[in-house]
Structure 1
Amino acid sequence: MTKLSVNINKFATLRNARGGNLPDILKVAQDCERFGADGITVHPRPDERHIRYQDVRDLKPLVTTEFNIEGYPSKEFMDLVLAVKPDQCTLVPDPPNAITSNTGWDTVAHQSQLKEVISTLKQAGIRVSIFLNPDITKVEGAKTAGADRIELYTGPYAEEYTKARTQPQNLQLFNDYKNTAKEATAIGLGLNAGHDLNLDNLRFFKLHIPQLAEVSIGHALVADALYFGLENTIQLYKRQLAD
């Protein structure tokens, strides 16, 4: 069964909007695990507008499932990850002012940088995943750089899936995802996915890309929890991922 890692950034956004400690991010993470999440994901950014660096440090001894830290490998980020030693580090090519992740790595142009960063992380015993567009030509570069997995950037898929419901077109872009996934599996890379996955589009993705090891979902899951409750929502998402 594909694992569900809950990205808790949006809970931190809510906390930071008012100040104080409501909701309590540490309790949120523990509750997500108690309600069935297979992992906890955080994406600290330089301005700490949601998850703060101290949150990441405080979460480490509490997370009992898989702890995944996402981010751009700046010196500050790398220092944090190497100190915390999560189960997995997902490298994303976000500029400092990005609202959210919106593209994957060019593993050819950034091969030297990625090799150096990944080597450092793996020496610390941390599994490494690279955020990647559905582009088969970039998969080999991820392997050469030393990554253990790729995380498919599913924003374009989510957008096309919505259009396909109302327009006379098929999901042509989805072939790129399937081909990228097949290539990754063929050369020994694990497969994750994330961004804009929700209760409407997740099942289709899972059924057609059965190699999927893990998805990271935050924004949509938190929005759904406003209506369905957090425990019920996590179970609804896990149901979409069932084999």
Structure 2
Amino acid sequence: MTKLSVNVNKIATLRNSRGGDTPNLVQVASDIQDFGGQGITIHPRPDQRHIRYQDAYDLKSVVTTEYNIEGNPIPKFLELVAAVKPTQVTLVPDAEDAITSNAGWDTRKHKAFLKEVISECKRNNIRTSIFVDPVVDMIEGAAETGTDRIELYTEQFASEYAKGNLNAIQPYSSCAQLANDLGLGVNAGHDLSLDNIKFFKENIPGLMEVSIGHALISESIYLGLENVVDMYLHRLK
């Protein structure tokens, strides 16, 4: 079964909008695990507009499943990761002013840098994943960095799937198979939803984990958080 890691950034956004502690991020993360979620993902950004760096520390004692911290490996982020020691760190090349992640790594251009960061994470016994576009050359480049996994950036798939273009899955399927052949684990995330997750999972060989936040929290407004987590788990079986 593909694991479901729930990104709780949007919970932090809602909390921050009023300046208090409602909803309580730690409690929500704990509840998600009680509801069957198999991981918690956060993506702190330098401006801390949703997840604050302190949240990463606060969640450490609560996350008993898999703890995934995503982000651009700037020095402050790497210091946080080294201190918290999550299960997994997902390296994302997002600009400081980006609303959300919008591109994968050029694993050829940044190979030396990625190798250095990944080596440091491994010295801290942290599993590593690189956020990549579904491009064969980028998958091959990722394998040369020493990373444990890749995370396929799925926005293009989701956009095309919504238009009825099922062929949009093909580059993802091919890249996942290549990753399997190269000994890389395969994760995926970005704009995956209840509408497209089953089709995506069925067509991605060896899919180990999906990280879903915006869609899952939005769907929960209508359907309830516990119910939505359960719906994702059924689609991922």
Which TM-score band applies after superposition, normalised by the shorter structure? over 0.9
The TM-score normalised by the length of structure 1 is 0.96
Instruction: Quote the Cα distance in structure 2 between the aligned partners of 1:40 and 1:114.
Output: 24
Equivalent residue for 2:233, pick from 228, 235, 238 = 238
Identical columns (%): 59
Q: Residues 56-103 of structure 1, C-alpha deviation per residue, up to 9 Å, x if partnerless?
A: 011111110000000000000000000000000000000101100011
Q: What is residue 198 of structure 2 aligned with on the other side?
A: 203
Is 1:212 paired with 2:204?
Answer: no
**Does the CA-based 8 Å contact 2:81-2:89 persist in structure 1?**
yes
Code of the residue aligned with 1:121 in structure 2: it is C
Q: Unaligned stretches of 5+ in structure 2?
A: none
Q: What is residue 36 of structure 1 aligned with on the other side?
A: 36
Q: Unaligned stretches of 5+ in structure 1?
A: 165-169
Instruction: Quote the Cα distance in structure 1 between the aligned partners of 2:207 and 2:159.
Output: 20
SS state at 1:11 partner: helix
Shift of 1:141: 1.2
Shift of 1:171: 3.2
Shift of 1:29: 0.4
Shift of 1:209: 1.1
The TM-score normalised by the length of structure 2 is 0.99
Aligned ranges 1:51-66 → 2 under 5 Å: 51-66=51-66
Code of the residue aligned with 1:120 in structure 2: it is E
Code of the residue aligned with 1:150 in structure 2: it is I
SS state at 1:18 partner: coil
Q: What is residue 137 of structure 1 aligned with on the other side?
A: 137
Q: What is residue 24 of structure 1 aligned with on the other side?
A: 24
SS state at 1:97 partner: coil
Aligned ranges 1:35-114 → 2 under 5 Å: 35-114=35-114
Code of the residue aligned with 2:157 in structure 1: it is Y
Code of the residue aligned with 2:102 in structure 1: it is N
Code of the residue aligned with 2:60 in structure 1: it is K
Bigger Cα displacement from structure 2, 61-70 vs 135-144 = 135-144
SS state at 1:4 partner: strand
Q: Residues 156-215 of structure 1, C-alpha deviation per residue, up to 9 Å, x if partnerless?
A: 000000112xxxxx4333211111001000010000000000010101000111310000
Alignment RMSD: 0.7
Instruction: Quote the Cα distance in structure 2 between the aligned partners of 1:153 and 1:146.
Output: 19
SS state at 1:213 partner: strand
Equivalent residue for 1:222, pick from 207, 213, 217 = 217
Aligned length: 237
